[in-house]
Amino acid sequence: MGWGCGYDATMMRRWAAVWAVGVLGLGVTPALGAQADIWALFVKSFDAFTIVLVAGSVLAGAYVFRAVMEVRGGAILPMGRVEAMQDMIRAGRFRELRGYVERDRSFPGSVLRAALKPASNRQAMRDAAELAASEEIAGWFRKIEPLNVIGNLGPLVGLAGTVWGMILAFTSLGEAGGQANPAELSVGISKALFHTLLGLCLAIPCLLVFGYYRSLIDRHCTRAMVVSAEMVEGLPEPGTGPAA
């Protein structure tokens, strides 16, 4: 049923592990280095920017889970259904095919459903099938596009938090007449830079997962378009034959 299902399952487990490492890295770091108490720094730097970044991490985790569950080669191009439709076309059972694709919601099923609608000529049938294929491809890419948006916005939000923290640190330095304790100033700067770290920890896993699933969708959708086009060419001329 899925010529790439075993490979996809293995890769999805690997990416799930990558995501877990990215999300849990901040909790593991304190145990690895006692001198850098990241968790204490997280608590000290907690503000509106931190809330936004943490909320983005939760949202990104939900989209990653959705991608792992829904975006698979067997879901885009279910070979069992494709073979059933190909058998109907070869046997000339076009009325049965019409009823089958009305119930089927796979990529090839949607393309054939559009192609079997009343059309004036074969070119119009091809255009309808091409439009349906484009809609299917766009729908699959929309499932992972939020990861791209979150991955690109994360560092910007972190940078904004860093800039804000630096402003506060140097404002305090100015109010002290330039005589602030260097230790206190370094703590303030480290708290500001922590926002950038949070933004990067959010962006890197998001962009990694997005890049993997983008290539997976592109590969399987391209194959689905080729298979669907071959089946559309096997349909009779519009207005003739049993499918009319």
- Characterize 104-139 residue by residue with b for buried, 16 or more Cβ atoms within 10 angstroms of its Cβ, and e for exposed: bebbbbbbbbbbbeebeeeeebbebbbebbeebbee
Q: How far apart are CA 162 and CA 200, in angstroms?
A: 12
Query: In whole angstroms, what is the distance from residue 160 CA to residue 228 CA?
Result: 47
* Predicted local distance difference test score (pLDDT) of residue 157: 93
- High-pLDDT (> 70) share of the chain, %: 77
pLDDT class of 177 with cuts at 50, 70, 90: low
CB-neighbour burial class of residue 44 (10 A; exposed 0-12, middle 13-18, buried 19+): middle
Please tell me the predicted confidence (pLDDT) of residue 171. 79
What tokens appear for 211 in the block?
A: 């890049």
Residues 6+ apart with CB under 8 A from 50: 42, 161, 195, 198
Binning pLDDT at 50, 70 and 90, where does residue 28 land?
Answer: very low
Residue 12: pLDDT band by 50, 70, 90 thresholds? low
> What CA–CA distance (Å, rounded) separates 126 from 135?
14
b/e map 181-190, b = 16+ CB within 10 Å: eeeeeeebeb
- State the amino acid at position 93 in one-letter form: R
Does residue 163 come out as left (phi exceeding 0), alpha (psi in the -120 to 50 range) or beta?
alpha
* % of the chain residues with pLDDT over 90: 50
More confident residue, 188 or 218: 218
Distance in angstroms (rounded) separating the CA atoms of residues 241 and 91 = 13
Q: CA-to-CA distance for 116 and 139, rounded, in angstroms?
A: 21
* Average pLDDT rounded to a whole number, residues 221-243: 82
Neighbours of 81 (CB within 10 A): 18
Task: Give the per-residue pLDDT at 148.
Answer: 95
The answer to whether residue 7 scores a pLDDT higher than 90 is no
Q: Does the pLDDT at position 147 exceed 60?
A: yes
CA triplet 173, 184, 23: central angle to 5 degrees? 115
What confidence category does residue 46 fall into, taking pLDDT thresholds of 50, 70 and 90? confident
Residue ranges of domains in the chain: 5-74+145-229, 80-141
Q: Mean pLDDT for the chain? A: 81
Q: Give per-residue pLDDT as tens, 60-96.
A: 999 999 999 999 889 999 999 999 999 999 999 989 9
pTM for the full model? Answer: 0.76
**Section 87-108 average pLDDT:** 91
